[in-house]
Amino acid sequence: MKIVASLVSGTSLLISMMPMLAMGISPQEEPLIQKSDVTYIGAFSMSTATIGTSRFGYSGAAVTHYKDPSTGKHTLFMEGHNWNPGHVAQIEVPADSLLVQSNVYSSMNRATVLQPFADVTEGHIQTDLAYMPRLYGMLPYNGRLIVTGASFYDGACAQVNSHGVSGFNLSDSNDFQGFFAMDAVANPRSVAGFMTTIPPEWRPLMGGPALSGGKALSILSCSSAGPAATVFDPDDVGAKDTIPGTTLLFYPNEHKLEDCQLGDTCELFNWMSNFCGIAFPPGSRSVLFIGSHGIGEFCYDHPPDIVCYDPVSGGKGSHAYPYVHRVWAYDANDLLQVKSGAKQCWEMHPYAMWTMDEMCSDGSALMAGAGYDPETGRLYIADQQKEEPHIHVYQITVPDINRTETTGMHANAAFIHAYPNPFNPITKIFGSFGPDVPGSEKAEMVIYSTNGQRVCEISLRNSELATGVLWNAKDLPGGIYCIRLKAGSKKIVSKAILMR
């Protein structure tokens, strides 16, 4: 067995077009994320004290991950208490060894505050947006912090602007620009929410580098009756008076994801469906919307007439107790049909939905925000905050390409996997090309880095894959690596996550 390794520096992108093309896989053939690919890691807490201009109690909106390039620290930005819209703080994500699988606040380890709360919008959220504004999304991009803001209650559909931009130093003044309008099919509040980057291999197909979406806010006719996603370029924020956008998913009031009526139990959507975050894992074709959903009968209270039983979210308005944390999973191939004009943006439906019961299973799931880190596959969720602020952490692992029907391979005939996975820094790679490839057949294993360069090349015999091949990545940066096995015209592709 011959091994030739080359080491390259890391990058914030997980998988570029180069390795996908080199492996002969088009983005449309990439696998779909399923519930089994999402693993609960644990939780940590934040302080209850006032820190700067706000506090973490009743907070959690606009959670976003940011890896500090100068320190390598994994951090989160998030908005503070509801009473202080636009006021943002930065915390350091604790090490995995400090995350606890518990819902008990007192048992959780405390995150370190890196920057205290300050108004990242410098007052513009109050003057530029409509009634009851809040931040609903943030996105670190090219050295700037993109933010979105929306009116929680917009009965007159008066909101026009949605996006602004600031620097990462929350103490800096006079560096905010915005808010700016977006020119898109989706209405302003349906682009003024969660954001995420589009994997590089999908950007030419979708026409841009990022997605901006929104949640179902009151009044629903001025929002989206289902998850929404619009393609845009974050570099346009502050550079153009109006931000160009291409809407791929949006449910106007006349075309709801599900037309839920009073007394109905609705699986896809009701007025208590709360979309708080989005993830587009590189190497997959899944666009995941993360939130909470009421699985009980949809009803409406108008005091003094109280007819709905809801011990979690009582008062005037919509109810559908009990509530669960939910993922709505969409196929990016379906969204491409909208871009091509073959489908309307409201004709798409999720290919799968599932609950995340680790955070709570008592029917009280009300999510505040969710942020995704494409470099590590980590998902950070702020659920029902109140005066015990905390964050839950999940791992999204892109499945092996040979698991999907698009490869034409069955796991019993041909496979490749690494164990352990995730790993640090050594893993063992097993594989097989199936019974029709003799053990003496020469094979090649190539491992690609995040920027498409080969970091490891291994020449071996097919028979060696049965006992496994060790890979030591001690000098490589953390992230997702693509593993390709090739013997003759046959090839198999998998991925491994190096955790740091």
Residues 152 and 211 in one domain: yes
Secondary structure E strands in 314-439? 317-319, 323-331, 352-355, 369-373, 378-382, 390-396, 415-419, 426-432
* pLDDT at residue 252, as a whole number: 96
Q: Per the structure block, which two tokens stand in for 18?
A: 């180069």
Amino acid (1-letter code) at residue 283: G
Residues 363 and 470 in one domain: no
* pLDDT at residue 243, as a whole number: 98
* pLDDT at residue 14, as a whole number: 36
CB neighbours (10 Å) of residue 127?
Answer: 10
Q: What is the DSSP letter of 297?
A: B
Q: Per the structure block, which two tokens stand in for 431?
A: 């594989």
Residues 246 and 384 in one domain: yes
Last residue of a domain, one of 346, 377, 396: 396
Residues 23 and 36 in one domain: no
Residues 228 and 117 in one domain: yes
- Provide CB contacts within 8 A for 331, sequence distance 6+: 32, 285, 286, 287, 351
Last residue of a domain, one of 396, 421, 438: 396
pLDDT tens digits, one per residue of 272-306: 999 999 999 999 999 999 999 999 999 998 888 88
Residues 37 and 24 in one domain: no
Residues 21 and 55 in one domain: no
* pLDDT at residue 467, as a whole number: 79
Residues 90 and 121 in one domain: yes
CATH number at residue 388: 2.115.10
pLDDT tens digits, one per residue of 67-82: 999 999 999 999 999 9
Last residue of a domain, one of 396, 418, 447: 396
**Angstrom distance (rounded) from CA 495 to CA 418:** 8
Question: Which residue has tokens 């004709």?
Answer: 347
pLDDT tens digits, one per residue of 199-214: 999 999 999 999 999 9
Residues 359 and 407 in one domain: no
What stretches in the chain show pLDDT beneath 70? 1-25, 401-414, 450-451
Residues 141 and 260 in one domain: yes
Residue-number span of the structural domain to which 14 is assigned: 2-28+401-498
CATH number at residue 436: 2.60.40.1930
Nearest to 197 by CA among 238, 240, 142: 142
Residues 365 and 260 in one domain: yes
Residues 40 and 19 in one domain: no
Q: Per the structure block, which two tokens stand in for 273?
A: 């469906």
Q: Domain count of the chain?
A: 2
For the chain, the straight-line distance linking the first and the last C-alpha, in angstroms and rounded, comes to 28
> Cα angle vertex 454, ends 449, 460, to 5°?
120
Question: Which residue has tokens 């934040």?
Answer: 46
pLDDT tens digits, one per residue of 125-173: 999 987 889 999 999 999 999 999 999 999 889 999 999 999 999 999 8
Stretch (H or E) spanning 22: helix 17-22
* pLDDT at residue 401, as a whole number: 65
pTM of the model: 0.80
* pLDDT at residue 402, as a whole number: 55
